Amino acid sequence: MFIEQMFPFINESVRVHQLPEGGVLEIDYLRDNVSISDFEYLDLNKTAYELCMRMDGQKTAEQILAEQCAVYDESPEDHKDWYYDMLNMLLNKQVIQLGNQAGRHTITTSGSNEFPMPLHATFELTHRCNLKCAHCYLESSPEALGTVPIEQFKKTADMLFDNGVLTCEITGGEIFVHPNANEILDYVCKKFKKVAVLTNGTLMRKESLELLKAYKQKIIVGISLDSVNSEVHDSFRGRKGSFAQTCKTIKLLSDHGIFVRVAMSVFEKNMWEIHDMARKVRDLGAKAFSYNWVDDFGRGRDIIHPTKDAEQHRKFMAYEQHVIDEFSDLIPIIPYERKRAANCGAGWKSIVISPFGEVRPCALFPKEFSLGNIFHDSYESIFNSPLVHKLWQAQAPRFSEHCMKDKCPFSGYCGGCYLKGLNSNKYHRKNICSWAKNEQLEDVVQLI
């Protein structure tokens, strides 16, 4: 029997996450032993989503295409090549099966066609930290308040999973100062398909190590290391001895086959150490290395960006390219063309949840900026709000036709980040820029 005459239906192991424009296929969403390398999302444009939602086993592949084309007054003959290519791709990825006869199969869904619901969540388990880092956007410290109760955390994690979230990060503060850190780690690894654990690496204990080993197929551990010089790192992190302990943890986890990504915060004192740091990271056994300039949020506002000097910037760019070329296997680079999206998805595709339940678009947004409280507010009231719709529809600077990037002195600062675009308007400009005006974000600027 040819594929045209067979009855395609979505596998029960696949969930279709609905979005206002298209959707996402969550493959093997119920399997708890899917490795990071095997776990996969498939983005669907509006047409592909509508076709998939017709695949319930009741109509042949040929009938599905004909019905879809009839809606838009199109000829099936004009679309059959890419349509059957798509069916074969979905078949190879085990998204669909083909029946020999008609039968009713339920399509499992999450999300909504009316408003965006996130696919990724970052949990700030606590705002407390055993360190007091010079650049911390949260201004965390041993004295900081805010720790999520374990039962509230589990309830929230369940709700997020049921509504489409399959990947998560747990962070702080420092997660391992949370009294139930290991119980939470075990819970998220059983619940979610891909888990990132962000830590400063100074509080690793045997029980935590055993959990990370047990779930290493779905875990990435992000550890901060800011200098090859112990004195520079310890001073920046606010505690003597933190460099040695962090390096020990990176090597320990790496030796046990756990994927470790080392992150470096770049500032004036360490900007010429990136090459040496990449070598250090490789020697410690980590699998990935990333670095970013300290952002001007939280305590980072007090740190001066040295590359504002044009000649210094030129020299650094050449130096940086040399490092990237030499350590291309260690430093992940996203091709520029893959970044060309309306925006990064902060606030609608991914969210951050504070220990108090306040939802922010991303970690760098001020603690006072809230889309709603997920402990108390309904899911719909948060994500179907005018503010979330505005963030979803906004074009980020650089990619917006309203951004005067070729003439704007802040173009390099904002880049493709809408938070930095908002921040530049709030703190660095005398007047609201054309991007913020035309994207209708003037009221959001005032919330930053």
* Residue 189 included in any domain: yes
Q: Is the domain of 74 the same as that of 143? A: no
Q: Is the domain of 14 the same as that of 37? A: yes
Q: Is the domain of 278 the same as that of 297? A: yes
Phi, psi of 334 (to 5 degrees): -90, 120
| Count: domains in the chain | 3
Q: Is the domain of 309 the same as that of 193? A: yes
pLDDT of residue 334: 61
Question: What is the three-class DSSP state of 399?
Answer: coil
Q: Tens of pLDDT along 351-404?
A: 999 999 999 999 999 999 999 999 999 999 999 999 999 999 999 898 888 988
DSSP 106: P
Q: Is the domain of 58 the same as that of 194? A: no
Single out the residue of 169, 273, 264, 178 nearest to residue 220, CA to CA: 169
Q: How many CA atoms lie within 13 A of 123 on its CB side?
A: 31
CATH number at residue 321: 3.20.20.70
| Between 336 and 197, residue with greater pLDDT | 197
Question: What is the three-class DSSP state of 130?
Answer: coil
**Tokens standing for residue 41:** 């999302």
Q: Is the domain of 104 the same as that of 244? A: no
CATH number at residue 48: 3.90.930
* Residue 378 included in any domain: no
pLDDT band for position 341 (cuts 50, 70, 90): low
Element (H, E) at 442: helix 442-445
pLDDT band for position 338 (cuts 50, 70, 90): very low
Mean pLDDT taken over the chain: 92
Q: Is the domain of 182 the same as that of 105? A: no
Q: Tens of pLDDT along 215-256?
A: 999 999 999 999 999 999 999 999 999 999 999 999 999 999
Among 91, 111, 131, give the residue marking a domain's end: 111
Among 339, 361, 386, give the residue marking a domain's end: 339
pLDDT of residue 339: 47
Q: How many CA atoms lie within 13 A of 440 on its CB side?
A: 9
Q: Is the domain of 89 the same as that of 172? A: no
Q: Tens of pLDDT along 272-324?
A: 999 999 999 999 999 999 999 998 888 887 777 666 677 887 899 999 999 99
Q: Is the domain of 76 the same as that of 139? A: no
Count of CB atoms within 10 A of residue 382's CB?
Answer: 20
Q: How remote is the C-alpha of 322 from its chain's centroid?
A: 28
* Residue 51 included in any domain: yes
Query: Can you tell me the distance from the alpha carbon of 369 to that of 352, in angstroms, rounded to the nearest whole number?
Result: 11
Q: Is the Cβ–Cβ distance between 326 and 300 less than 8 Å?
A: no
Q: Is the Cβ–Cβ distance between 407 and 434 less than 8 Å?
A: no
Range with the poorest average pLDDT among 12-16, 97-101, 300-304, 327-331 = 300-304
Query: Can you tell me the distance from the alpha carbon of 375 to that of 427, in angstroms, rounded to the nearest whole number?
Result: 32
* Domain extent at residue 416: 395-448
